[in-house]
Every structure is written in C-alpha cells, then in structure tokens.
Amino acid sequence: MTCCIVFDQTSDIQVTHSCPITPQERLAVTLRVLASGSNQQSVAQSYMMGPTTVSLIVTEVCKAIWVALCSEFLAPPNTEKWTEIAKEFWRVWNFPNCLGSIDGKHVIMKAPPRAGSDYFNYKGTHSIVLMAVCDAAYKFTMVDIGAYGRESDGGIFQECSFGRNLLHGKLHLPPPANLPGSTVNVPHVFLGDAAFPLRQNLMRPFPGRSLDDAQRIYNYRHSRARRVVENSFGILAARWRILGRPMEFHPQKTVKVVKACVALHNYLSCTDAGNTPATPTRAAVAARNDFKSFFLTPEGCVPWQENELTKGMLNRAEDNTGQL
C-alpha cells in the first residue's frame, strides 16, 4: 500500500487515503532494483514509497518470478533435449558429445549477522554460490543456489541435487555415441574446470605443466567450450547489475533475488526481448540473397566495393610465391 494526500473540497482539511500498489508497479519496482543495482532506499524515493515497502515488494516479486518462470524456462532437460544441446555444442563450440559446461559463481553479500565463517570465501568476502550448467547458447539448464561461500565448487557439485543425480546416473542422459566421423564410442559429458572431479560423464582438463602436444590441444578445446558458462555469468551480471555489488540482504532474500535473475535471464534468452537472434525464416534468407545479387548488378553496385574486399590483405598470388 502507498498513501496519497488530497484536500476535501468543502474545507482546508487534508485527508490521507491508502492507494493499493498495482502488480505492474510492483514488477516495475523490482526490475528497477535488479537491473540498475541501485539500493532499495534510492528506488523507494524514485517511486515515492517507503524503503520497507520496497523491500517487501522485491522479496515477494522475486519469489513470484521464480515460481512463474522456472517450470518453463528452467525445466530439467529430457533425453531429446540433451541430444539437441550436444548437437549445438559440436556445431558452435566444436566439442562433440558435450551436454553443457559447469561452474560456480560467488554472489557477494554483506556479512550476515552471527553467521560465523560459513559465508566467508577464499577471496576474503562473504557470498553464496550459484552453481550452474549452461548450454551452447548461454542459457542455464540446471542451477543450485545458496551454498555457503566457504565451500569449494567440487564439494558443492557433489552435494547439490543435479550433481548427485549426475553421479548416480539419474539425469536421463543420451547413451554413448560415436565421435563425428569415427567409430570411437564415448559417453556424453559435462565440462568443468580443475575444481571438479573426473568422472565418466564429467570431464576436467589434464593437470600439470609437463603436458604433451595432444594433452595441450585437448585442454585448449576443453577450455574453449567450458568458458561458455563463464560468459553466461558475465551476461547475467551485465543484465542484472544488482549482482555486480555486495547485496545488503540476508542470505534467504539473496537466494530469492538470484533465482529471479536466473529465471529472467533464461526468459530473455528464449524470447525476442533477449539478445539471442531468432532462427531466420526462408523468406528472410531469400530477401538477403536478393540484396546480395542486387549489389552485384550495374544498378546496385558502388565503385569502391571491390577495393574493400582486399583492403588490408596480402595479394594471394604474391603470397603463394613467397614474395612480399
């Protein structure tokens, strides 16, 4: 509720009425807090509300966002969906039989009262951990939010629900498949960094410095595909700037805020409102080809376009003869 002041037309007495805050206003306030990173007090002043009112609104709306979106945009993949993800990882990131990359992100918050060292992490701050798996298009497929900051990524993985399900074969993963163009049959895997254990369905890089060429090449290909999850965390924090500064909430509310940010991230990634381009239609492809052909005709070409093709490039004929 918020208040508005009006004057009685028959007297000079001020009359205060309580006006309900609409769902649209509640959503706007919450999105403002999440996207701007501003503290609740400054947002409250912008909307002429009390700080306590804004605090309650953010808590309730973040919980509602998670409940409304998680079943559709964070539903656990089935075998068919896992297979589609593996195809995309091979097409985009050139790693076959890959079902996702996994990592943990520390969400910094102010030290909770009487929390001891539970939330104190190795970076010297207090945090909860967002453990996540993402697909080739930077969408999160599985998340676990709220582990103590003092715990390691490997320890959190083995304790969280999807980590236990993976280790016990309960994620409905596709069966092993041949590597592209070969008869070598290997399982479908997730990619983690050195903090994670090496398991049949979980790969980690070769450790140490004395590696042969084949091991270094594997580590490069592994790192190239695994960093997708780090990019996803970067996109998440750029969209929702509240994740870029220490949160002034108690841990339970911090978990609700992070859940809402993750759900909204996937929602934006799956709709036209996000940054991921939609699959082009045949009509769009045909129109672009028409433009391409037109630019090669006498009516459509410009005199300098051929020169632009070779600007900054070595002459191929001279390069083939070894003469510069």
Q: Work out the angle at residue 278's Cα, subtended by the Cα atoms of residues 274 and 282, and round it to the nearest 5 degrees.
A: 165
**Residue 12 domain flag:** no
Contacts of residue 218, defined as CB under 8 A and 6 or more positions apart, other chains included, come to: 205, 206
**Residue 139 domain flag:** yes
Count up the domains in the chain and report the number: 1
Q: What is the pLDDT of residue 309?
A: 62
**Residue 146 domain flag:** yes
**Three-state secondary structure call for residue 279:** coil
**Residue 50 domain flag:** no
- Environment class of 163 (CB within 10 Å of its CB; exposed 0-12, middle 13-18, buried 19+): buried
**Residue 69 domain flag:** no
Q: Which of 277, 279, 260, 280 is nearest to 73 (CA)?
A: 260
**Three-state secondary structure call for residue 3:** strand
**What is the C-alpha radius of gyration for the chain, rounded to an integer number of angstroms?**
26
Owner of token pair 């004395």: 210
Q: What is the pLDDT of residue 61?
A: 96
Q: What is the pLDDT of residue 290?
A: 74
- Environment class of 35 (CB within 10 Å of its CB; exposed 0-12, middle 13-18, buried 19+): middle
**Residue 24 domain flag:** no
Phi, psi of 178 (to 5 degrees): -70, 140
**Looking at beta carbons, which pairs linking 158-164 to residues 24 or more positions away fall under 8 Å?**
158/197, 160/131, 162/76, 162/133, 163/131
Q: What is the pLDDT of residue 270?
A: 86
- Residue range of the domain that includes 101: 74-269
Strand 98-109, strand 2-7: pairing: unpaired
**Residue 283 domain flag:** no
**Three-state secondary structure call for residue 142:** strand
Whether the Cβ atoms of residue 267 and residue 69 lie closer than 8 Å to each other: yes
d(Cα 196, Cα 188) in Å, to the nearest integer? 17
Q: What is the pLDDT of residue 167?
A: 85
**Residue 8 domain flag:** no
3-state secondary structure 144-212: EEEEECCCCHHHHHHHCHHHHHHHCCCCCCCCCEECCCCCCEECCEEECCCCCCCECCEECCCCCCCCC
Q: Would you give per-residue pLDDT tens digits along the chain (324 residues)? A: 554 433 344 444 444 446 788 999 999 999 999 999 888 999 999 899 999 999 999 999 999 999 999 999 999 999 999 999 999 999 999 999 999 999 999 999 998 888 788 999 988 999 999 999 999 999 999 999 999 999 999 899 989 998 999 888 889 999 999 998 888 899 999 999 999 989 889 999 999 888 888 998 999 999 999 999 999 999 999 999 999 999 999 999 999 999 999 999 999 998 854 444 455 667 777 777 777 777 777 777 677 677 766 665 555 444 444 443
Q: What is the pLDDT of residue 272?
A: 57
pTM of the predicted protein model: 0.77
d(Cα 265, Cα 35) in Å, to the nearest integer? 11
Q: What is the pLDDT of residue 311?
A: 66
- Environment class of 122 (CB within 10 Å of its CB; exposed 0-12, middle 13-18, buried 19+): exposed
- Environment class of 176 (CB within 10 Å of its CB; exposed 0-12, middle 13-18, buried 19+): middle
